[in-house]
Amino acid sequence: KNQVEQSPQSLIILEGKNCTLQCNYTVSPFSNLRWYKQDTGRGPVSLTIMTFSENTKSNGRYTATLDADTKQSSLHITASQLSDSASYICVVSGMDGGGSYIPTFGRGTSLIVHP
Amino acid sequence: KAGVTQTPRYLIKTRGQQVTLSCSPISGHRSVSWYQQTPGQGLQFLFEYFSETQRNKGNFPGRFSGRQFSNSRSEMNVSTLELGDSALYLCASSLGRPNTEAFFGQGTRLTVV
């Protein structure tokens, strides 16, 4: 069964500090891995998309890494801001038993940035 | 450029009723995907439509169905509503090519009483 596990479940940091969120998956065969940011009451917003051949991708202060061998990804946030307070969701797309490519979502990491 | 629009934003229905949710994608996007988000299960994929055809389907019962029109607008229908169907229903649109960015709407908050 395809699974995506994220850690930590929640994280509290001070404004200006860096942090790293983790994502482990068992999705196979693998198509791509995405990180999303979801503010409370809003739809998710895409941060990065990575395929099998990519191991690092940046989007401003967000840098995602992917190790396809160990099936692990991380999202590093540099110089955090109050507006970074949100849920960060890891999504891995792979093929299910019926031949369809479907996304499997992690439960998310809830990040709170304090002033 | 207008974003993904979902209507209605909020909906209250009674058990046993049916409901139809609407999603208007970004202009030029031919793929629309639907998701259910609950506190207990998180985000789960329902199905994807591309050029009026269901291209991928998640693991949900047949009470959940959808369709896509020639202008790429999509509707999702849930029949015989159950209390457990209470959730935030999100749709996302994209160009439909592999590894392209998907853009989510604000969602429809469905409450079943």
Give residues 22 to 61 of B whose Cβ lies within 8 Å of A. Answer: 42-45, 55-58
Query: In angstroms, what separates the C-alpha of A50 from chain B's closest C-alpha?
Result: 8
Q: What are phi and psi of B6, to 5 degrees?
A: -115, 135
Contact (CB, 8 A) for A98 and A2: no
User: b/e string for B43-62 if b means 16 or more Cβ within 10 A?
Assistant: bbbbbbbbeeeeebbbeeee
Q: What percent of chain A has pLDDT over 70?
A: 96
In chain B, the residue whose alpha carbon lies closest to the alpha carbon of A39 is: B106
B9/A contact by beta carbon, under 8 A: no
Phi-psi region of B42 (alpha: psi -120 to 50; beta: other; left: phi over 0): left
What's the rounded Cα separation, in Å, for the pair B97 and B28? 12
The residue-averaged pLDDT of B18-41 equals 96
Query: In angstroms, what separates the C-alpha of B77 from chain A's closest C-alpha?
Result: 20
What's the rounded Cα separation, in Å, for the pair B93 and A100? 18
What's the rounded Cα separation, in Å, for the pair A64 and A90? 10
What's the mean per-residue pLDDT of chain B? 95
Confidence of residue A55 (pLDDT cuts 50, 70, 90): very high
Asked if residue A97 has pLDDT above 70, the reply is: no
What's the rounded Cα separation, in Å, for the pair A65 and B31? 27
3-state SS assignment for residue B83:
helix
Asked if residue A95 has pLDDT above 80, the reply is: no
What's the rounded Cα separation, in Å, for the pair B49 and A31? 18
Integer angstrom CA distances of residue B39 from A82, B25, B64, B84: 24, 26, 19, 11
Alpha-carbon torsion angle A41, B22, A90, A108, nearest 10:
30
Asked if residue B34 has pLDDT above 80, the reply is: yes
Angle formed at CA A36 by CA A31 and CA A40, multiple of 5 degrees? 150
Listed in order, strand segments (DSSP E) in chain A are 4-7, 10-14, 19-25, 30-38, 45-51, 56-59, 62-67, 72-77, 86-95, 101-105, 109-114
Asked if residue A42 has pLDDT above 70, the reply is: yes
**Inter-chain residue contact B58 with A102, CB threshold 8 Å:** yes
Instruction: For A2-35, write each residue's pLDDT tens digit.
Output: 899 999 999 999 999 999 999 999 988 888 999 9
Q: Report the pLDDT value the prediction gives residue A106, as an integer from 0 to 100.
A: 96
Asked if residue A50 has pLDDT above 70, the reply is: yes
CB atoms near residue B19 (< 10 Å): 18
Cα–chain-centroid distance for residue A60? 15
What's the mean per-residue pLDDT of chain A? 93
Instruction: For B68-109, write each residue's pLDDT tens digit.
Output: 999 999 999 999 999 999 999 999 999 988 788 899 999 999
Contact (CB, 8 A) for A2 and A33: no
What's the rounded Cα separation, in Å, for the pair A88 and A94? 20
